[in-house]
């Protein structure tokens, strides 16, 4: 589904990702894990095409309209007084565009998605009135509406209670069972071991990529921590001869 080839992404000419290569197979369920500042969110944004690479390339083998992306909660503004149902219907944007109309079938799908995340009765509530866990459920309902081949989740369980986390993990497992490709940035290695078959371990550069049991070894985790602590953002600018793509 996604091929990463020698990818380098820089902020202020210092690398956030440094010469990373690997492949996400069709239908795979992969966690991206690593210390803070290790490039996890940068990897997802690069797959989405939101960042320009300093070198290497990202190849995604599905149309942009078939990709669903959930950013970190802190990147989403909830101040606009939008009802829950309307927020969920935004998942139809790629099919409707700016001027398309919502039909009864889409309304029924939206209500079914809201029900599936346990928020029946919240359809007319504004998103700003919801708790963080409730709002994250709304965003997962919106992902359900997108019906995507590739689903990118950036810290989907951050600050979530255990009940919400369990419900959202069930949805992720359903997507995996349906043959969708899911890539999730996570922090909890115990959670990763329990629920994700594949893992990418980053520390700005690639530490390990493959089966979770072989990636999340004590040696690899210690190496990732050492690499993260060794990075110096005041060091000389990283130059690359690779062609941006």
Global confidence as pTM: 0.86
214 domain-assigned: yes
Task: In whole angstroms, give the CA distance from residue 240 to residue 118.
Answer: 49
Number of domains comprising the chain: 1
219 domain-assigned: yes
Q: Which residues of 86-115 are buried (b: 16+ CB within 10 A; e: fewer)?
A: bbbbebbebeeeeeeeeeeebeebbeebbe
Q: What is the DSSP string of the chain?
A: -EEEEEEEEEETTEEEEEEEEEEEPTT-EEEEE-STTSSHHHHHHHHHT-S--SEEEEEESS-GGGEEEE--GGG----S--BHHHHHHGGGHHHHTTTPPP-HHHHHHHHHHHHHTT-TT-TTSBGGGS-HHHHHHHHHHHHHHH--SEEEEESTTTT--HHHHHHHHHHHHHHHHTT-EEEEE-S-HHHHHHH-SEEEEEESEEEEEEEHHHHS-HHHHHHHHHHHHH--TTSPPP---SPP-
- Cα–Cα distance list, 72 to 76, 154, 155 (Å): 7, 5, 6
16 domain-assigned: yes
163 domain-assigned: no
117 domain-assigned: no
211 domain-assigned: yes
145 domain-assigned: no
37 domain-assigned: yes
pLDDT of residue 233: 55
Q: Which structural domain range is residue 219 located in?
A: 1-62+150-156+181-245
Q: In this structure, what CATH number is given to the domain that contains residue 55?
A: 3.40.50.300
Angle CA 157–163–169, to nearest 5: 50
Instruction: List the structure tokens of 8.
Output: 């380098």
Per-residue pLDDT of the chain (245 residues; tens, 9 = 90+): 999 999 999 876 677 898 999 999 999 999 999 998 889 999 999 999 998 888 899 999 999 889 999 988 777 777 778 899 989 988 876 666 555 667 687 888 899 999 988 898 998 999 888 888 888 899 999 999 888 999 999 999 887 888 889 989 999 999 999 999 999 999 999 999 999 999 999 999 999 999 999 999 999 999 999 988 876 555 444 554 443 33
């Amino acid at each position: 589904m996604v091929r990463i080839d020698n990818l380098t992404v820089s902020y202020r000419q210092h690398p956030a990702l440094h010469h990373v290569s690997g492949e996400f197979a069709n239908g795979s369920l992969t966690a991206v894990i690593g210390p803070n500042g290790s490039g996890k969110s940068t990897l997802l944004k690069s797959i989405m095409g939101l960042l320009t690479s300093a070198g290497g390339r990202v190849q995604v083998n599905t149309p942009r309209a078939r990709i669903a992306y959930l950013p970190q909660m802190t990147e989403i503004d909830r101040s606009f007084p939008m009802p829950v149902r309307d927020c969920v219907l935004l998942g139809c944007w790629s099919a409707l565009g700016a001027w398309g109309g919502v039909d009864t079938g889409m309304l029924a799908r939206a209500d079914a998605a809201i029900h599936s995340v346990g928020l029946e009765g919240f359809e007319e509530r504004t998103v700003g009135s919801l708790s963080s866990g409730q709002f994250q459920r709304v965003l997962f309902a919106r992902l359900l509406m997108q019906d995507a081949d590739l689903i990118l989740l950036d810290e989907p369980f951050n600050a979530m209670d255990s009940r919400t986390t369990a419900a959202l993990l069930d949805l992720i497992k359903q997507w995996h069972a349906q043959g969708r490709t899911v890539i999730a940035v996570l922090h909890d290695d115990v959670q990763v071991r329990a629920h994700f078959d594949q893992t990418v371990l980053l520390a700005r550069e690639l530490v390990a990529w493959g089966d979770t049991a072989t990636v999340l070894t004590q040696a690899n985790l210690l190496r990732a921590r050492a690499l993260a602590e060794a990075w110096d953002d005041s060091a000389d600018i990283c130059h690359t001869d690779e062609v941006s793509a």
